[in-house]
Amino acid sequence: MSLIDTVIPAGEPWIGTIRRGQILRIVDLEGNQAVDTLFYNALDTAEHYSAQNTIQAQRGIYLTTGTVLMTNRGRPLLEIGEDTCGRHDTLGGACSAESNTVRYALEKRHMHNCRDSFLLALTRHDDETGPRLTKRDLPSNINFFMNVPVTPAGGLRFADGISAAGRYVELRALMDVLVLISNCPQLNNPCNAFNPTPVRVITRESA
Ligand SMILES: [Zn+2]
């Protein structure tokens, strides 16, 4: 499997596969960009990242160095290594036409959103060797670099970002992994500082 080094333009999706042992680095090129991400077992996509199992395994809701991302079958999927941002969200989910309508205004329905971006990437992917992934295959996602603080009373807030230009997070694949990213196009809340920007995705072999 060849190594990857690509820039995902602002608001665009991306899909790719990394082999077990490879390290994936996601770089927030210009800062304060939310990167909605899902991971699947590349050999059996019915197995995928599980927010619940990951939170339960590490007894915490934020992701950073040392976090092992768990699958819906309770198996380790990837481990977070170097992380120069320091916190990533497990709870905020992906924006959608529906959430834009409910949270902001009816006129926001047509706007680009992560759920549609995920589906667009899956349609383009069209892996003839495996089952086609559809809406039903989109579980709760990770929001890399996104700041969603939880209040003592249990409330959620989409807050201004804590990332900055050039910050990155690295993940080591513990199995062959299909990576699905929506570089969030959201313009209605501060998850992108109201200004979506490109991110870079790089893989390398672990030393
Ligand atoms: Zn989004």
Specify the pLDDT at position 112. 86
Per-residue buried b or exposed e for 186-207, using 16+ beta carbons within 10 Å of the residue's own CB: bbbbbbbbeebbbbbbbbeeee
Specify the pLDDT at position 4. 95
Residue 99: both structure tokens together: 């959430």
Specify the pLDDT at position 87. 95
* C-alpha of residue 17 to centroid of ligand 1, in Å: 22
* C-alpha of residue 121 to centroid of ligand 1, in Å: 14
* C-alpha of residue 113 to centroid of ligand 1, in Å: 5
The CA distance from 36 to 14, in Å, is 10
Q: Return residues with CB closer than 5 A to ligand 1 (ion).
A: 95, 114, 184, 186
pTM score of the predicted model? 0.93
* C-alpha of residue 207 to centroid of ligand 1, in Å: 34
Q: Which positions of the chain have pLDDT values less than 70?
A: 1, 126-131
